[in-house]
Chains A and B, each alone.
Chain A
Amino acid sequence: AQKVTQAQTEISVVEKEDVTLDCVYETRDTTYYLFWYKQPPSGELVFLIRRNSFDEQNEISGRYSWNFQKSTSSFNFTITASQVVDSAVYFCALSEAGTGNQFYFGTGTSLTVIP
């Protein structure tokens, strides 16, 4: 079974629109960590955020914000006022304290921001 599900395969938005990328995870551990990574067309994977399971506070970093809800096992990512440079594939990932070492990645959401 998929531990991380990113149901949105591709999303297109027009520049300056807000967009939310969904991430649903599955775990039985009480201690776990969630991540978002960005993969621009150049190919490298860029770390965006790490969140542990005990911290449900939402986080905002500039135009980026993350909504962590344990009740729905979701860790959604919103980009406000999207820009062309936001075009990339975004991956959500989970790591469980129990297994300790594996990072489970979702299949990614390809975001295209149209100028």
Chain B
Amino acid sequence: DSGVTQTPKHLITATGQRVTLRCSPRSGDLSVYWYQQSLDQGLQFLIQYYNGEERAKGNILERFSAQQFPDLHSELNLSSLELGDSALYFCASSVGGGAHTGELFFGEGSRLTVL
């Protein structure tokens, strides 16, 4: 158990819909990262937050947004869903803002299926 909690574990929805994925980092970790893993794309970095502020942005679509709340949990919002958004979405946390402070600990992922 990594200590990172993601909900929901599975989600099935239709195209055009909007979903919210939630992540609670490990106790004491200030950084939250979101990754998308699809079969043909590998692990794609979406976005990172550190102590409530956006720190780095990767290949995140404009239809997607995220935030980190004062209690450090994070939410990833996916809207106008398309079939191609079906993937496993991982949240990871780390103590500080970069690798010099430690490794990433991953949650179990949220599997999104868009029909």
* B100–A102 touching, CB < 8 Å: no
B35's nearest neighbour on chain A, judged by CB, is A105
Report Cα–Cα, A31/B99, bound state, in Å.
Answer: 10
B98's nearest neighbour on chain A, judged by CB, is A100
B23-55 vs A, CB cutoff 8 Å, 1 = contact: the mask equals: 000000001010100000011010010100001
Dominant secondary structure of chain B at its interface with chain A: strand
Contacting B90 at CB < 8 Å: which of A45, A97, A100, A107? Answer: A45
Decide if A64 is an interface residue (CB 8 Å cutoff): no
* A44–B2 touching, CB < 8 Å: yes
Contact A102/B48 with A95-B98, A97-B98, A97-B99 known, Cβ cut-off 8 Å: yes
Decide if B108 is an interface residue (CB 8 Å cutoff): yes
Contacting A44 at CB < 8 Å: which of B35, B45, B58, B108? Answer: B108
Contact A50/B106 with A44-B2, A91-B43 known, Cβ cut-off 8 Å: no
Decide if B88 is an interface residue (CB 8 Å cutoff): yes
CB neighbours of B108 from chain A (8 A): 42-44
- Chain A residues near B (Cβ < 8 Å): 31-33, 35, 37, 42-47, 50, 52, 91, 95-97, 99-108
Not counting A46-B2, A52-B100, a sample of 12 additional A-B residue pairs whose C-beta atoms are within 8 angstroms of each other reads A37-B106, A43-B108, A43-B111, A47-B104, A96-B99, A97-B99, A99-B56, A100-B56, A103-B99, A105-B45, A107-B42, A108-B43
